[in-house]
């Protein structure tokens, strides 16, 4: 069905947003590779989807897919959405409510000129591939969230697109079915021969499904790397927050880092000089009721700002001079009488901090 896919996506997307910022994103995705565009709401993720799909026109840049030019702001080339062969699983799925499930999946095949019977048969096969054989005659409204999600995937894949876009594919699902559908999605993604782009604000989704993660903030890509990179070496406050890591920007000199907010951290390697990023994993931080002794070289007194305790583990936010997120057990939180306003001592082992030039 369709042509063999052998080309990647090369895109420079520049779109001015009415909110006043410009989305300026460069993406290079080879076939059989999944990248995640991970970013907070309003970062411009939907704009990138729209531009790649041909629903939003570029103010600058160029998009090519498998050697075909889809958009070129310089020459004014703009291929209509209908002619791009870009398959999309939309955030709200957008299954056509007036068509049955199998007619939804057959929609793209019909548009490619396949006769009705052939298109419906192809659609049935796709439904079986996503585990929904026998669901064809239902209406979209009669499906569960997970079933509808799989129909949307089958509909996007049936016309053999050359690029697959998944726009927040799991956001419409309840938490219970999310993990199951995520696994299913992973297996279907691995079978799709073209480049794949996953748009999400959920780090778990990105970490599990993508080979490479692009962090998008305010229209710009602020970090590109593997899930491992983002988790261990976040480059921005947003990425650090996603990874659950404390991140400080500062200047290193003589084995000490002075952070932007005026805090001082002692670091393990005295040779590091100049602007650095220091990440502090929550597990490397200890809390104490009285000034601790021992080898920890970073310690200071502060006041607890907040505690989220789920009965097993507690997440504690500490205050100035260096605000941190700290993980302790529920028992420890009880013993330390942690509550907003409580006075505690914080200690951080320099050896467990990660220091990188920025």
Partner 1 sequence: MSAVGSSPSEPSRPSPRPGARPPLAWAVLGAGGATLFVLPLVGLLLRTPWSRLPDLLTSAVVVDALRLSVVASLSATVLSALLGIPLAWLLARAEFPGKRLLRGIVTLPLVLPPVVGGAVLLFALGRRGWVGAPLAEATGLVLPFSLGGVVLATTFVSMPFLVITVEGALRNLDRRYEEAASTLGAGPWSVIRRVTLPMVSSSLLSGLILTWARAFGEFGATVTFAGNLQGRTQTLPLAVFVALESDRDTAVAISLLMVAIALGVLLLLKDHWWGTR
Q: Is 55 in the site for partner 1 (CB under 8 A)?
A: yes
Q: Is 84 in the site for partner 1 (CB under 8 A)?
A: yes
Q: Which is nearer to partner 1, 96 or 306 (CB)?
A: 96
Task: Provide, rounded to whole angstroms, the least separation between the CB of residue 351 and partner 1.
Answer: 52
Q: Is 233 in the site for partner 1 (CB under 8 A)?
A: no
Residues 6+ apart with CB under 8 A from 75: none
Burial 80-111 (b: 16+ CB within 10 A, else e): eeeebbbbbbbbebebeeeebbbbbbbbbbbe
Q: Which is nearer to partner 1, 79 or 317 (CB)?
A: 79
One of 45, 62, 150, 155 touching partner 1 (CB under 8 A): 155
How big, in percent rounded to 5, are the helix, strand and coil portions of the chain? 30, 35, 40
Contact at 8 Å (CB) between 74 and 63? Answer: no
Task: Provide, rounded to whole angstroms, the least separation between the CB of residue 132 and partner 1.
Answer: 18
Q: Is 108 in the site for partner 1 (CB under 8 A)?
A: yes
Q: Which is nearer to partner 1, 27 or 88 (CB)?
A: 88
Task: Provide, rounded to whole angstroms, the least separation between the CB of residue 55 and partner 1.
Answer: 5
Token pair for 119: 């298109």
Q: Which is nearer to partner 1, 80 or 295 (CB)?
A: 80
Task: Output the furthest CA–CA distance in the chain (Å, rounded).
Answer: 79
Task: Provide, rounded to whole angstroms, the least separation between the CB of residue 158 and partner 1.
Answer: 9
Task: Provide, rounded to whole angstroms, the least separation between the CB of residue 116 and partner 1.
Answer: 12
Q: Which is nearer to partner 1, 84 or 231 (CB)?
A: 84
Task: Provide, rounded to whole angstroms, the least separation between the CB of residue 167 and partner 1.
Answer: 11
Q: Which part of the chain contacts partner 1 (CB under 8 A), choosing from 106-114, 247-255, 314-322, 326-334?
A: 106-114
Task: Provide, rounded to whole angstroms, the least separation between the CB of residue 102 and partner 1.
Answer: 14
What are the helix (H) ranges across 192-286? 203-209, 227-232, 237-243
User: What are the backbone dihedrals phi and psi of residue 153, each rounded to the nearest 5 degrees, phi first?
Assistant: -65, -45
Alpha carbon distance 145, 176 (integer Å): 11
Task: Provide, rounded to whole angstroms, the least separation between the CB of residue 315 and partner 1.
Answer: 38
Coil vs helix vs strand at 122: helix
Task: Provide, rounded to whole angstroms, the least separation between the CB of residue 111 and partner 1.
Answer: 4
Which of 287, 344, 334, 285 minimizes the C-alpha distance to 309?
Answer: 334
Q: Which part of the chain contacts partner 1 (CB under 8 A), choosing from 1-9, 105-113, 201-209, 296-304?
A: 105-113
Question: Using CB atoms within 10 A of its CB, is residue 197 exposed (0-12), middle (13-18) or buried (19+)?
Answer: buried
Give the Å distances, CA to CA, from 201 to 34, 146, 167, 180, 344. Answer: 16, 19, 10, 18, 34
Start-to-end CA span in the chain (Å):
48
Place of tokens 């697109």: 161
Q: Which is nearer to partner 1, 148 or 227 (CB)?
A: 148
Q: Which is nearer to partner 1, 148 or 316 (CB)?
A: 148
Q: Is 80 in the site for partner 1 (CB under 8 A)?
A: yes
One of 19, 74, 75, 82 touching partner 1 (CB under 8 A): 82
Q: Is 150 in the site for partner 1 (CB under 8 A)?
A: no
H or E element, residue 248: strand 246-253
Alpha carbon distance 29, 233 (integer Å): 22
Q: Which part of the chain contacts partner 1 (CB under 8 A), choosing from 52-60, 137-145, 190-198, 254-262?
A: 52-60
Q: Name which of residues 85 to 104 contact partner 1 (CB under 8 A).
A: 85-88, 90, 92, 94, 96-99
- Contacts with partner 1, residue ranges (CB under 8 A): 53-55, 80-88, 90, 92, 94, 96-99, 107-108, 110-112, 155-156, 159
């Amino acid at each position: 069905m369709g042509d063999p896919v052998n080309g990647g996506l090369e895109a420079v997307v520049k779109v001015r947003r009415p909110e006043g910022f410009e989305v300026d994103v460069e993406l290079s995705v080879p076939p059989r590779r999944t990248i995640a565009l991970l970013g907070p709401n309003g970062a411009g993720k939907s704009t990138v989807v729209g531009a790649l799909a041909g629903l939003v026109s570029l103010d600058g840049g160029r998009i090519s897919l498998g050697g075909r030019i889809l958009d070129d702001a310089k020459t004014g080339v703009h291929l209509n959405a209908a002619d791009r062969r870009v398959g999309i699983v939309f955030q709200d799925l957008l299954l056509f409510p007036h068509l049955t499930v199998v007619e939804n999946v057959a929609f793209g095949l019909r548009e490619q000129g396949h006769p009705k019977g052939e298109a419906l048969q192809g659609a049935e096969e796709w439904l079986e591939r996503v585990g929904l054989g026998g669901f064809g005659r239902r209406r979209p409204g009669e499906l569960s969230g997970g079933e509808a999600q799989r129909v949307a995937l089958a509909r996007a894949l049936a016309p053999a697109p050359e690029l697959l876009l998944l726009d927040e594919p799991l956001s419409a699902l309840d938490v219970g079915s999310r993990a199951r559908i995520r696994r299913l999605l992973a297996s279907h993604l691995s079978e799709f021969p073209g480049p794949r782009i996953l748009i999400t604000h959920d780090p778990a989704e990105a970490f599990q499904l993508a080979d490479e993660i692009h962090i998008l903030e305010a229209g710009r890509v602020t970090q590109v790397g593997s899930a491992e990179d983002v988790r261990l070496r976040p480059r921005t406050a947003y990425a650090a927050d996603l990874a659950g890591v404390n991140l400080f920007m500062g200047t290193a000199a003589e084995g000490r880092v002075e952070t932007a907010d005026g805090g001082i951290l002692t670091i393990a390697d005295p040779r590091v000089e100049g602007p650095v990023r220091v990440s502090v994993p929550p597990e490397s931080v200890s809390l104490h009721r009285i000034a601790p002794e021992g080898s920890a070289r970073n310690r200071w007194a502060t006041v607890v700002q907040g505690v989220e305790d789920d009965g097993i583990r507690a997440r504690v936010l500490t205050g100035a001079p260096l605000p941190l997120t700290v993980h302790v057990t529920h028992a420890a939180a009880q013993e330390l009488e942690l509550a907003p306003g409580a006075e505690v001592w914080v200690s951080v082992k320099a050896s467990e901090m990660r220091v990188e030039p920025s």
